[in-house]
Amino acid sequence: MSDLQRDLRIAVLGVGMMGAFHADALATRTKGARVVVVNDFAAEKAAEVAARVGARVVEDPIAAINAPEVDAVLIATPGKAHAEQVQACLAAGKPVLCEKPLTTDEESSYALVQAEAAVGRPLVQLGFMRRFDAEYAALKDLITSGGLGNPLLVHCTHRNPAVPDFFNSEFMVRDSVVHEVDVARFLLDEEITSVQVLRGVATSSAPEGTWDPMIVVFETESGRIVTDEISVRTGVAYEVRTEVVGETGSAMIGLDQSLVRTSTDGRWGGQITPGFVERFGQAYDTELQRWVAAAKQGTIDGPGVWDGYAAVAVCEAGVKAVQTGEKVAVALKAKP
Ligand X SMILES: O[C@H]1[C@H](O)[C@@H](O)[C@H](O)[C@@H](O)[C@H]1O
Binding residues for ligand X, rule: CB under 6 A, are 160, 175-176, 179, 232, 276
CB atoms within 10 A of CB 82: 28
| Residue 277 Cα distances to 129, 135, 274, angstroms | 11, 15, 8
Q: Is 159 in the site for ligand NAD (CB under 6 A)?
A: no
**Residue 22, contacted partner among ligand X, ligand NAD, none, CB below 5-8 A by kind:** none
- 292: CB partners within 8 A, 6+ apart: 8, 10, 26, 30, 31, 32, 33, 72
Q: Is 160 in the site for ligand NAD (CB under 6 A)?
A: no
Closest CB 238 distance from ligand NAD, rounded Å: 10
Residue of 23, 25, 36, 40 interacting with ligand NAD (CB under 6 A): 40
Which of the ranges 33-41, 116-124, 214-222, 229-237 carries the binding residues for ligand NAD, by CB under 6 A?
33-41
- 37: CB partners within 8 A, 6+ apart: 10, 11, 12, 55, 56, 57, 58, 64, 67, 69, 70
**Residue number of the CB atom closest to ligand X:** 176
**Residue 176, contacted partner among ligand X, ligand NAD, none, CB below 5-8 A by kind:** ligand X
Residue of 4, 17, 162, 236 interacting with ligand NAD (CB under 6 A): 17
| Binding residues with ligand NAD: total (CB under 6 A) | 24
- SS3 state of residue 161: coil
Which of 235, 231, 76 shows the shortest CA–CA distance to 167?
Answer: 231
Closest CB 148 distance from ligand NAD, rounded Å: 26
Which of the ranges 36-44, 117-125, 244-252, 254-262 carries the binding residues for ligand NAD, by CB under 6 A?
36-44
Residue of 71, 105, 106, 175 interacting with ligand NAD (CB under 6 A): 175
Sequential DSSP letters for 91-142: HHT--EEEPSPS-SSHHHHHHHHHHHHHHTS--EEE--GGGGSHHHHHHHHH
Binding site for ligand NAD (CB under 6 A): 13-19, 39-42, 45, 61, 76-79, 81, 99-100, 127, 129, 175, 276
